[in-house]
Amino acid sequence: MKVAPSLLSCDFAHLAREIANVTELGADWIHIDVMDGVFVPNLSVGLPIVEAAFRVSALPLDVHLMIVQPEKYIDAFIKAGAEWVTFHIEATNQVETCIKKIHHHGKKAGLSLRPGTPVFVLEPYLNQVDLVLVMTVEPGFGGQTFMADQVTKIQWLYEKKQLHQLPFLIQVDGGINQETAPLCQGADCLVSGTYIFKSPQRKQAIDFLKSIRRKT
Ligand code: DX5
Ligand code: ZN
């Protein structure tokens, strides 16, 4: 299982140290949550933090855009260092344009959806994206409770992937911990903020998530 620690729960006063620490402990990607206060009722970080993270990170940056009209900012986030750019289907009416913009730069495109959005709306794009991000909390804040009813979306995506031999990765984000991670059968990558960064035993937390076997 790939593990992407979400910087949302890290100590931003020591950003470089936090990134180096989870890198050393075996993380695969660094997940950065970008919020605009419009698509979600919270503000987080933007381009300068992605640039700073890129300068110090040996791992790929996995940028989760929770912003309206992502098409306006995709180029800038890629310039700042994003390797994976995930945007929300509810945030734009230009889904294909966004995917193409990301691919134009040779980067990986991810598509996400809120818990209230039915998963089948992603179907037309499954053969175009590199990743689908299933939100298991309402986007906007770290430290929320895992919504177990979202697990069926992971299963649906996994079946589509198998049926049509599609290469996209399934990522899950929100409320991931020791109890909930094993429920994400079919996932390729787990995002985790609180469980990793607030844990007194970060190594154990990362090791545990990595030890979950991917469904084959
Ligand atoms: C929420 C973000 C998540 C968040 C997860 O909108 O997308 O990446 O950091 O935090 P935890 O792991 O604490 O639920
Ligand atoms: Zn996220």
Catalytic residue among 28, 130, 173, 188: 173
Give residue limits of the domains in the chain: 2-211
pLDDT more than 70, % of the chain = 100
202-207 long-range contacts, CB within 8 A, separation 24+? 202/21, 202/22, 202/25, 203/25, 203/26, 205/178, 206/3, 206/5, 206/22, 206/25, 206/26, 206/27, 207/25, 207/26
Q: Is 173 a catalytic residue?
A: yes
59-85 pLDDT, tens digit each: 999 999 999 999 999 999 999 999 999
Ligand 1: residue of 44, 134, 141 to mutate (most ligand atoms within 8 A of CB) is: 141
pLDDT at 216 over 80: no
Task: Record the tokens describing residue 173, joined without a space.
Answer: 């984000």
Please give the biggest Cα pair distance in the chain.
46
Residue 124 Cα, ligand 2 centroid: separation in angstroms?
Answer: 23
* 2-211 belongs to CATH 3.30.470.10: no
Atom of ligand 1 nearest to the CA of 42: 6
pLDDT at 97: 98
Atom of ligand 1 nearest to the CA of 175: 14
88-115 pLDDT, tens digit each: 999 999 999 999 999 999 999 999 999 9
Residue 142 near residue 177 (C-beta atoms within 8 A): no
Residue 29 Cα, ligand 1 centroid: separation in angstroms?
Answer: 14
Task: Record the tokens describing residue 161, joined without a space.
Answer: 């992937």
131-164 pLDDT, tens digit each: 999 999 999 999 999 999 999 999 999 999 999 9
Residue 61 near residue 32 (C-beta atoms within 8 A): yes
pLDDT at 35 over 90: yes
169-198 pLDDT, tens digit each: 999 999 999 999 999 999 999 999 999 999
Nearest CA to 84 among 113, 49, 54?
Answer: 54
Mean of per-residue pLDDT scores for the chain:
98
Residue 161 Cα, ligand 2 centroid: separation in angstroms?
Answer: 22
6-24 pLDDT, tens digit each: 999 999 999 999 999 999 9
Taking residues 38-42, report their average pLDDT: 98
| Protein residues with CB under 6 Å of any ligand 1 atom | 6, 8-9, 31, 33, 64, 137, 139-140, 142-144, 173-176, 191-195
Task: Record the tokens describing residue 103, joined without a space.
Answer: 């691919």
Residue 137 Cα, ligand 2 centroid: separation in angstroms?
Answer: 10
pLDDT at 215: 82
Place of tokens 């945007």: 87
Place of tokens 């979306």: 153
Catalytic residue among 33, 36, 62, 188: 33
pLDDT at 214: 84
Q: How confident is the model at residue 200 (pLDDT cuts 50, 70, 90)?
A: very high
